[in-house]
Chain A
Amino acid sequence: MNKGYWLDTATKEIRFGPDRRRVRQELEDHILDRMEAAEARGLSGYEAEKAAVEAMGDPEPVARELGRLHQPWMGYLWRLSQVLLVVLALCIAANWTYFRDLWNNGPDWAPPEPPQDFPYVWQDLSLGETGGYRFTVPLMFWEQWDDGTWAGTVILQGSSWRFWERWDAGSILAARDDRGISYTCRNHSWESTGETPRFYYNAVQFSYTSSTAELRFSGIPDPGEIQWLELTIGDETVTISLEGGGTA
């Protein structure tokens, strides 16, 4: 029996290739060590190999024991995970422009600057949690128009860590204020119960974890008249209290 045949027989039960090659290498090192020792004692190359292989014993029981020790499933799983990693990395590379755009077009939206030296400015109002989203008003302000009337801007932000289901900022269905004026929205077009004020979405923006609606209403004779504004969002309501505003 030569060295190659013994090694092939002893490792035949190891089914996972990389394991089989590693164990074969290790066993071959043992045989070569023995051969070197035999040659040092004066045996020829052929005799040294024969003696070394005989000293290793019968390869069949070794094969069975090695096969029992080296179950292939973890190896297969590991190889599968490597293949999956490569496939996923290729998919990422193929979609690289999307990732780049996502990164470049990230949450760079900033609320408009409030007018300076105006008495009616509110910032960072927390409206609590509704429907699984945390609602805040990063900014609200009034500005006076040339005709003497006032226009209000409300930046409403709904946030959640669930990035896969950002709040739909188009779900604001209606609004009403404490003066009894109500506003309804149909496909982002607002109708109020009176001629004025008008109320409408100006813009809707989103980041990875939040959506922001910019709501504007105009034609208000005196902003001090409105104490609160209640928004109907889907089946829920949130109330924005407008008491205690301060200068920005």
Chain B
Amino acid sequence: MRKRKPLERRTYGRRLIRNGVLCLLLALALWTVSGCPLPQAMALRRLERQMLLKPSTIVLETDDNENDGYALLLGVTEDHIHSFALRDGNGSLLLWERKGEEPTLVALPQPVRYQTDEAARSAPMLAAVDIPQEAASARLTMTMESESIHLQGELPEGWEERFHWKRTYSMDGVKEGNVFLFQLTYQEDEDSQAGHAENSHMKLSLAEDVQRGLIPYTLEFFDNSGQVILTQTHS
């Protein structure tokens, strides 16, 4: 008589549960090490919860394909305006105090791409929230100036331009729902000293300077006939 192997009743339930639990644990570890990414809507609410903020109503959402994968969003609550930059399920949030009935000028947290005749460049975008209902167009004029730096002796050639730099920008707004968007564009050649100063100033300190009220600006709103209906000046 052949020696038979003992009959083994093969059931998959227990093995499936064991493998499922192991898969969940490994997937959780991978998700954690990837920075716990979430879908855009959930990531946005998570950022608000992490900062102990009330959930905001989204008033603007940009296309992430046009902006290095970043989706830029603006949300409003009773007291604040939240400007989000979300990419790959994670992001950052800048908080702005809402002026109430008056329009509030905010900066989006990431530079936005725009096309020149020669190339694509990216620069900060500003937005006016709580705009007058009848506003058909808007213009923003702002002056940016580099902080004064005190140096001993004479500056090398070209450095004067770098350290003492002042430009006035005038931008026509693009209306998106109840928000006007203002795209800053560079005035200088990007390879010049002035271009470097402009680039670093725009990208590094613009949002903070606007937030701290350090940049003088004039925001004008026009109706359909081109008449000024509101002018907001910050000096």
Whether A187 pairs with B30 at a CB distance below 8 angstroms is: no
Measured CB to CB, the closest approach of chain B to A37, in angstroms, equals: 8
Quick one: CB contact mask for A166-196 with B, threshold 8 Å, 1 for yes?
1110110100000000000011010000000
Q: Which of A33, A165, A171, A236 contacts B46 (CB 8 A)?
A: A165
Number of interface residues of A (CB under 8 A): 45
Q: Of A95-103, A112-120, A146-154, A213-221, which binds chain B?
A: A95-103
Given A77-B16, A78-B16, decide whether A165 and B33 contact each other with a Cβ distance below 8 A: no
Query: In the complex, what distance in Å separates the CA atom of A29 from the CA atom of B4?
Result: 7
Whether A85 pairs with B33 at a CB distance below 8 angstroms is: no
Given A22-B10, A78-B19, decide whether A131 and B52 contact each other with a Cβ distance below 8 A: yes
Query: In the complex, what distance in Å separates the CA atom of A202 from the CA atom of B85?
Result: 26
Number of A-B residue pairs at CB separation under 8 A: 103
Quick one: CB contact mask for B1-30 with A, threshold 8 Å, 1 for yes?
110110110111101100110110011011
8 A-B pairs (CB sep. < 8 Å): A22-B8, A74-B12, A81-B20, A92-B30, A165-B36, A171-B52, A171-B95, A186-B211
Q: In the complex, given contacts A19-B10, A33-B4, A77-B16, what are 13 additional A-B residue pairs having Cβ atoms less than 8 angstroms apart?
A: A29-B4, A36-B1, A74-B13, A78-B12, A78-B16, A88-B26, A131-B49, A170-B51, A171-B95, A186-B208, A186-B212, A234-B53, A235-B79
- Which residue numbers of B lie inside 8 Å of A, CB to CB? 1-2, 4-5, 7-8, 10-13, 15-16, 19-20, 22-23, 26-27, 29-33, 36, 38, 46-47, 49-54, 77, 79-80, 95, 208, 211-212
